[in-house]
Amino acid sequence: MTTLIKSINDIKNVLAKSDRSVGLVPTMGALHAGHISLIKACRNDCKTAIAYIFVNPLQFGPNEDFKKYPRHLENDFKVCEEHEIDFVFAPDEKEIYPENINCETITPPPDLANILCGKTRANHFSGVATVIKRFLNIIQPDYVYFGEKDLQQLYIIRWLTKEFKISTFVRACPIIRESNGLACSSRNVYLTEEEKEIASNLYKSLGLAKKNIRSGIFTIKKAILESLIFLSQFPKIKMEYFEARDKENLDDVDDTKTKGFYFLLAAKIGSVRLIDNIEL
């Protein structure tokens, strides 16, 4: 049976009565197949499985989609219920950021936060780190689950738990894709069917880059150029970045490297911003 909880005191009281292993799936709602994969991993690993649903205002920029971000708590609760989540924690904004409490703002290191998506989304990762630390402190889970699609976020959460000595294991789960290869995202609902087909070429471009590196003929720069040329035939795709980053720490990589790194990209189709990556 799944229980909906909306207050910090109530979730703490429930957890205080349990000595079982606790897993946490952080979400902003609008649950899709990617979230479900995290829920299944959590349910498989832990005796007590919790999903939180909270659209975090701190991680949206002034021109981003905070107000229109999809909010469907009733449907999301049903998804959690179907997959046997024990508790859905869905607090309102004042519960997480009360006016009478000074919630510490977390600033991740620039070498993680100011690259890739951080170049165009000022303070986004500060907002992410701040809210995740808040929830980890409230729930104190043994495990927390994140998808590898949001790769930069994943690295920042790992930094967060290490920096603040939070004894929660960060579990990374593989990217879940739609049938055409498009990475599952809550923002995919904004795309028309035609736009979804166009967006599927983002993953194809990552696969092309990986194939070209594996051929042994292409350097990283040449592989990226070939992928950008491929994407240029789709004028609705507006590229933000297409980069290679080291698997160890997301640093820049030597142009001749052939493994141990990711290709990552971000692009817009209309007003919808999409990200994806592939590992070598």
Question: Are the C-beta atoms of residues 28 and 54 closer than 8 Å to each other?
Answer: yes
Nearest one of 10, 19, 20 to 52, comparing CA atoms: 10
Inter-axis angle of helices 124-139 and 151-163, nearest 10:
50
Q: Which of 35, 72, 83, 124 is catalytic?
A: 35
Beta bridge partners of residue 28, listed in sequence order: none
Whether 72 is catalytic is no
The number of beta carbons lying within 10 Å of the beta carbon of residue 227 is 25
Joined together, the tokens standing for residue 217 give 């003929």
The number of beta carbons lying within 10 Å of the beta carbon of residue 249 is 10
The number of beta carbons lying within 10 Å of the beta carbon of residue 47 is 13
Q: In what order do the strands lie in the sheet with 87-89?
A: 3-5, 87-89, 48-53, 22-27, 143-147, 169-173
Phi and psi at 193, nearest 5°, equal -60, -40
- Which amino acid type is present at position 169? F
Catalytic residues: 35
